[in-house]
A and B are shown apart, each in its own frame.
Chain A
Amino acid sequence: MSALTDIPAAKAEALPPKQSRVWAKLRRNVSAMVGGSIVLTFVIIALLAPVLPMPGPAETDWGAVRKAPSAAHWLGTDEIGRDILSRMIWGAQASLLAGVVSVAIAVAVGVPLGVLAGYCRGWTDAIISRFTEALLAAPFLILAIALAAFLGPSLTNAMIAIGLSAVPIFIRLARAQTMQVVTEDYVEGAHAVGLSHPAIIGRYVLPNIVPPLLVQATLTIAAAIIAEASLSFLGLGQQPPSPSWGSMLNTAKAFLEQAPWMAMWPGIAIFLVVLGFNLLGDGLRDALDPRDH
């Protein structure tokens, strides 16, 4: 008998905790590690921007207008002699901030509404779902452009506009996940022992819907970075002279023949950081997929 009862205990000891299992899987995924490294590199560069030995992002050098990459200016200079490398590094702050803050807004608004809809069902669900469908019907970027125009052009408003446009994605995902979790035996058990609704949501629902939300958040950061660059490109995001990859591309468009490097670097940076988040998001999805455990 004791041998039989020992088996589950032994098994439990043999299995590593879920977090370390996910981490081990993620570490084995080369693409995810490459993506994570790209993101980490950009984060470090953005954080180090104020202490790096280079000219300020708005510092002009009229003697070096539209100069090609050289030892003095590694990535060249722009139309008023500003160092492109410096503007790129400061622009990384704007882009990463826009990605993270927009998604934080979308999660903060979308997840509570989605959980509420999935947990309460009935009228609450019907109202929230209709609202979500209405918002989802307007294409993401068109909605973000309309909202950014309404709020006025600035980086903060662009982040709010992108965040609000991404809200329905998180409402829908959180609702679907909650509806799945509330049918589990352990939630029914919690109801049976008289646990309050907020306690059930906090203790059982939220922890179980985090993995898919984490994957979605990582992938949405990538989309939000492109959206911020798009809004800045249209003149609805970061305003001059503050640097942003999107607004740098907008200016560069007018100097394509004379200074093609002005258009090259910001685009490569957007591509790399978005690719990094996409690779990381895909890797996280695979690592968190319960079917593979």
Chain B
Amino acid sequence: MLSFIGHRLLVAIPTILLISVLVFFLQKLLPGDPVLALAGEDRNPEILEYLREKYRLNDPLYLQYFHWIGNALRGDLGISLRTQQPVLTLLAQKLPVTLQLATMALIIAVVIGIPAGILSAYHKGTWIDWLANVVALSGLSVPNFWLGIMMILLVSVKLGWLPASGYQPFSEDPLQSIRTMLMPAFVLGTGLAATLMRHTRSAMLGVLQSDYVRTARAKGLSEKVVVIRHALRNALVPVVTVITLLFGELLAGAVLTEQIFTIPGFGKLVVDAVFNRDYAVVQGIVLCTAIAFVLMNILSDALYRVLNPKMSDR
């Protein structure tokens, strides 16, 4: 297993380097001069020149890239032009917020998606299957930012049950933190629940028709034991790997969800950085997201091998 992970990490290096090149040069093509944005009202040419020198913006592009990637490898992703804080510090501040949102969304998605998938597969062709499929497809088709707006309208404005926006750190007041995050997490989790439901259904259908499930039934085991102990255990193998791959979807979904519920997380940082032409922050975010995504892919493959004995022999 270690050699498998080592091999996959080696293969990932050129991909990550290519991502860094794409991220760096894409940002350099952005219209507008970041130094002008940084200097604000003060357009003194000497100050502008000083800032260009300070941020090495006068260097040739390839030197700027080597300087940037060299620093990035040492954990220095640069300074935010807007807030003057190190990008890594900003990421470290915002990431826990988004991780809390993503974790709660994932829990909601698993709690809804997996049982719905099992029920749908077990009752294939019945109204339960049809209903689960319609709900799942609706979950996939509904834009989560609209769902967020509708939930604010219903749950916050009309019923007054949950706050419409804001954030409370978990470490300060866990209960209030969960209360404020519940609605955003539900909104983010809906689409994922639909994806999980479809994967679980498909995996369960395959497993329920397999020989060992037929044998388990022939042995006279109860349906509950057959479905949960024999079928579900095997059907969950691909589902668990899919969950790790949902990471990218979670982050992308968080961008809009955080915007609607005014949550000061990673997604809001991306949008603010894009609108403020904060090159260093956008570069840092896209690079970190991409590296994390590559690592999650490797984790997904490794998990698949661990959970599926047939694969670990290879």
Tell me whether B274 and A146 are in contact (CB under 8 A).
Answer: yes
Of the listed stretches B22-30, B200-208, B221-229, name the one at the interface; the rest are far from the partner chain.
B22-30
A141 touching B252, Cβ below 8 Å: yes
Report whether B293 and A137 are in contact in the complex, using a CB–CB cutoff of 8 Å: yes
What are the 7 tightest A-B residue pairs by CB atom distance, in nearest-first order?
A267-B146, A141-B252, A137-B290, A275-B141, A139-B252, A139-B248, A134-B18
Chain B contact patch, size range: 35 or more
Query: Which A residues contact B (CB, under 8 angstroms)?
Result: 130-131, 133-135, 137-143, 145-147, 149-150, 152, 222, 226, 229-230, 233-236, 249, 252-253, 256-257, 260, 263-264, 266-267, 270-271, 274-275, 278-279, 282
Residue with the highest number of chain B CB atoms closer than 10 Å, among A139, A141, A226, A260 = A139
Contact residues, B239-257 vs A (CB, 8 A): 248-249, 251-253, 255-256
Chain B residues proximal to chain A, CB less than 8 Å: 14-16, 18-19, 22-23, 26-27, 29-31, 137-138, 140-143, 145-147, 149-150, 152-153, 157, 248-249, 251-253, 255-256, 259-260, 270-271, 274-275, 282, 285-286, 289-291, 293-294
Question: A278–B274 contact, CB under 8 A?
Answer: no
Q: Closest A-chain residue to B28, C-beta based?
A: A150
B15 touches A130 (CB 8 A): yes
Instruction: Kindly provide the distance from the CB of B95 to the nearest chain A CB, expressed in whole angstroms.
Output: 14
Please name 11 further chain A to chain B contacts, defined as beta carbons within 8 Å, in addition to the given A137-B290, A222-B141, sorted by A numbering.
Answer: A137-B16, A138-B293, A139-B249, A146-B27, A146-B282, A226-B143, A249-B146, A256-B157, A274-B141, A274-B142, A282-B137
* Residues of A close to B291: CB separation below 8 A: 137
Determine how close the nearest CB of chain B comes to the CB of A120; give it in whole angstroms: 19
Distance (whole angstroms) from the CB of B22 to the closest CB of chain A: 6
Most B Cβ at <10 Å: residue of A137, A143, A249: A137
Separation of A222 and B137 alpha carbons in the complex (Å): 12
Task: Judge whether A229 and B249 touch: CB under 8 Å.
Answer: no
Q: Roughly how many angstroms separate A14 CA and B143 CA in the complex, as a whole number?
A: 46
Question: Chain A residues near B285 (CB, 8 Å)?
Answer: 142
Q: Is the CB of B141 within 8 A of A137?
A: no
Q: Which residues of B contact A141 (CB under 8 A)?
A: 252-253, 255-256
- Residues from chain B with a CB closer than 8 A to the CB of A226 are 143
Q: Is the CB of A133 within 8 A of B15?
A: yes
